[in-house]
Structure 1
Amino acid sequence: MELRLFLEFAVGFSMAGDDSDHESSITLLEGELGVGAHVMQRRDPVNRAEAPECPSSRAALHPRSFVIATPHLISGPIKRPAVTLLVSLNARPFNVAVPGFGGVEAHAAFVGAGQERVLRARNCDLLSVNIEPGHVLFRPLQQALGERPLQRVPAAREVLDLLQLCFKAVVPGEPHLEILVELCENAGFAVDRSLRPRNRANELMATVDDAIPGRASLSQLANTLRLSESRLSHLFVEEVGVPLRTYLLWRRYRLALSRLSSQTTFTQLASDTGFADAAHLTRTFVGYLGFSPRRVVNSCFIQDLASR
Structure 2
Amino acid sequence: MRERERVRAWRPAVPGIHEVLHAEFHEHAYPLHTHAEWSLLLIDAGEVAYRLEGRARRAPTATLTILPPGVPHDGRSAGAGGFRKRVAYVEAGWLDDDLVERSVDAPLLAHPALAGAAARMHRALEAGGDGLRAESELLAIRGVVLRDLGGRRMRERRDDPLAARLRALLDARLTGAPTLADAARELEASASRLVRAFTAAYGIPPHRYLTGRRVDAARHLLLRGTPPAEVAAAVGFYDQAHLTRHFARTLGVTPARFQQAA
TM-score in terms of structure 1 length: 0.56
SS at match of 1:223: helix
Matched ranges for 1:70-89 at <5 A: 70=22, 73-74=24-25, 76-79=27-30, 80-82=32-34, 85-88=40-43
- The amino acid that maps onto 1:168 is A
Once the two structures are TM-superposed, the CA of residue 236 in structure 1 deviates from its matched residue by 0.9
Question: Cα 1:259–1:58, aligned 2, differ >3 Å: closer, same or farther?
Answer: closer
Could you list the per-position Cα deviations for residues 228-280 of structure 1 after superposition, in whole angstroms to 9, with x for gaps in the alignment? Answer: 1111111112223321111111111122122224434x333222321122222
Please state how far the C-alpha of 1:209 moved relative to its aligned partner: 1.1
- Matched to 1:115, the amino acid is D
Q: Does 1:192 align with 2:158?
A: no
Letter of the 2:208 partner, please give it.
T
- Quote the residue 2:110 is aligned against: 154
Secondary structure at the aligned position of 1:263 is classed as coil
What is the match of residue 221 of structure 1? 183
1:117 matched to 2:76 = yes
CA-to-partner distance for each residue in 1:189-222, whole Å, 9 max, x for gaps? 94529x9895835433211112211142111122
Residues 207 and 117 of structure 1: CA distance in aligned 2, closer, same or farther (over 3 Å)? same
Give aligned-pair identity as a percent: 19
2:53 — aligned with what? none
Q: Give the Å deviation of 1:97.
A: 5.2
CA distance in 2, matches of 1:282, 1:57: 17
**Using a 3 Å threshold, how does the CA distance of structure 1 residues 278 and 229 change in structure 2: closer, same or farther?**
same
SS in 1 for 2:229: helix
1:68 aligns with 2:35: no
Structure 1 residue 87 displacement after superposition: 1.6
Partner of 2:234: 272
Q: Distance in 1 between matches of 2:76 and 2:235?
A: 27
Structure 1 residue 129, shift from structure 2 partner: 4.9
Question: Residue 33 of structure 2 aligns to which amino acid in structure 1?
Answer: P
Gaps of 5+ in 1: 1-47, 146-150, 301-308
Letter of the structure 1 residue corresponding to residue 176 of structure 2:
G
Q: Structure 1 residues 67 and 192 mapped into 2: Cα distance closer, same or farther (>3 Å)?
A: farther
SS of match in other structure, 1:57: strand
Distance 2:27 2:148 in 1: 27
Change (3 A) 1:141 1:82: farther
Once the two structures are superposed, residues 24-59 of structure 1 have per-residue CA deviations (whole angstroms, 9 ceiling, x without a partner) of xxxxxxxxxxxxxxxxxxxxxxxx9672123x4335
Aligned runs of 1:112-151 on 2, under 5 Å?
113-118=72-77, 119-121=82-84, 126-129=86-89, 136=97, 137-142=99-104, 144=105
Give me the whole-angstrom Cα distance separating, in 2, the residues matched to 1:50 and 1:262: 23
Pick the structure with greater CA Rg: 1
Letter of the 2:76 counterpart: R
Please say if residues 63 and 112 of structure 2, whose CA atoms lie closer than 8 Å, have aligned partners that are also in contact: no
AA at the equivalent of 1:245: H
Aligned residues: 225
SS at 1:213 equivalent: coil
Q: 1:115 aligns to what SS in structure 2?
A: strand
Query: Does 2:59 match 1:96?
Result: no
Distance 1:269 1:232 in 2: 29
Please report the TM-score for the alignment, with normalisation by the length of structure 2.
Answer: 0.65
Q: Distance in 2 between matches of 1:221 and 1:178?
A: 41
Tell me the amino acid that sits aligned with residue 51 of structure 1. Answer: R
Once the two structures are superposed, residues 87-135 of structure 1 have per-residue CA deviations (whole angstroms, 9 ceiling, x without a partner) of 24xxxx4213549x9x9742115489443403522xx7x2355999xx9
Counterpart for residue 232 of structure 1: 194
